[in-house]
A and B are shown apart, each in its own frame.
Chain A
Amino acid sequence: MIRVAAVGDVHVGEEVDEGLRRDLATLGECADVLLLAGDLTRHGTVAETRCLTAVLDTVDVPIVAVLGNHDHHSDEVDGVVSELEGAGVEVLEGTSTTVEVGAATLGIAGAKGFGGGFVGASASEFGEPEMKSFVRHTRDVADRLRSALQDLRADRRIALLHYSPIEDTLHGERLEIYPFLGSYLLAEAVDQGGADLVLHGHAHAGSERGVTPGGIRVRNVARPLIQRSFRLFELDEPSPAASAAS
């Protein structure tokens, strides 16, 4: 059994989050890895990131993260990533990593994602440069995510995002803002690249559960939505026969 703890949108400011610290300190008892689905900070400053890494200090399992839009707000992304990596957090952006859990390998491909909307109500790469640039960013991120998943050799695979790949997990948010909350291009990338589970955040007022058009489970783990320090998932290790066949 591979045990995964996940949370997004912890939005750490320049103060100690005691609730988060307390819950994460005992994480090793129930999880083999911690996944952070973006918006780790409130304004994306290095100072806030230090407050987060101080809290993560107590975590004794591997930590893998993607950034969110808030983590970009102060244009200190390089510093934020350095601080996280210095604390042992692996930060993914169109890249992947693996974590050994017993005899099994868990693969995680991650990307921030971006907006653009969903089938029938999505932005196109057409018109003004700003519009084309907006959609092209989503397409680039999705392409890198697809490649990362396709190249990922692991027994079980998780796609880690900040923005949502589907509408289901946005239900509860206002319909008008869906194009700012995610893009179907992300779901298409995951369905083509393959995964056992997709985790994302960003939509604080959304819903927890959904599925991609290709049938892959999607879970929104935004902390304001789950109202906990993290959600837990258990993935079966593949049977020896299945491993040999793959």
Chain B
Amino acid sequence: MSEPDRTPDAYVIAHVREALATDERVAELGIELTIASSTLVLNGRVASTAQRDAATAVATELLAAQLPDLEVRNDLEVVDADAGPAGPEHVT
């Protein structure tokens, strides 16, 4: 480690993941996190725009304390559950 004070990326990812799961604005266990260069990338699917935006806020708040130089890129997809029902599957 060239910067001994810097929290290793793996722990940052673990801390953000835990925050996204436990912060009631997000409460999502399945968000994929990657640190690429100086950016933390959020991937996966959430149910609403509010949840997606809250994920950025939660990650940013946590990083402000640990790694303020890391940017957050939110690539979360908001699930479009409005597609209407598909045709039925026949179970023999």
Contact = CB atoms under 8 A, between A and B. Distances in A.
Interface in A144-183: 173
A112 to B, nearest CB: 15
Contacts of A50: none
A236 B90 CA distance: 8
Given A42-B27, A73-B27, A205-B44, A30 B88 contact: yes
Contact of A228 (B27, B45, B85, B90): B85
Residue from A19, A22, A43, A219 with most neighbouring chain B CB atoms (10 Å): A19
B84 A224 contact: no
B50 to A, nearest CB: 8
Contacts of A100: none
Contacts of A3: 88
Interface residues of B, number: 22
A53 to B, nearest CB: 18
B79 interface: yes
A175 to B, nearest CB: 13
B24 A229 contact: no
Determine the main DSSP class of A at the interface with B.
mixed
A48 B16 CA distance: 25
Contacts, number: 74
A20 B84 CA distance: 9
Contacts of B88: 3, 30, 232-234
A224 B82 CA distance: 11
Determine the main DSSP class of B at the interface with A.
loop
A204 B90 CA distance: 23
Contacts of B90: 233-234, 236
Contact of B91 (A22, A23, A205, A233): A233
18 contacts: A11-B47, A13-B48, A23-B84, A42-B24, A204-B44, A204-B45, A205-B30, A219-B89, A224-B30, A224-B79, A224-B81, A227-B83, A228-B85, A228-B86, A229-B85, A231-B85, A231-B89, A234-B90
Interface of B: 24, 27, 30, 44-48, 79-92
Given A233-B88, A236-B91, 12 more contacts: A3-B88, A30-B85, A43-B24, A205-B30, A223-B79, A224-B45, A231-B85, A232-B86, A232-B87, A232-B89, A233-B89, A236-B92
Interface of A: 3, 5, 11, 13, 19-20, 22-23, 30, 42-43, 70, 73, 173, 196-197, 204-205, 217, 219, 223-224, 227-236
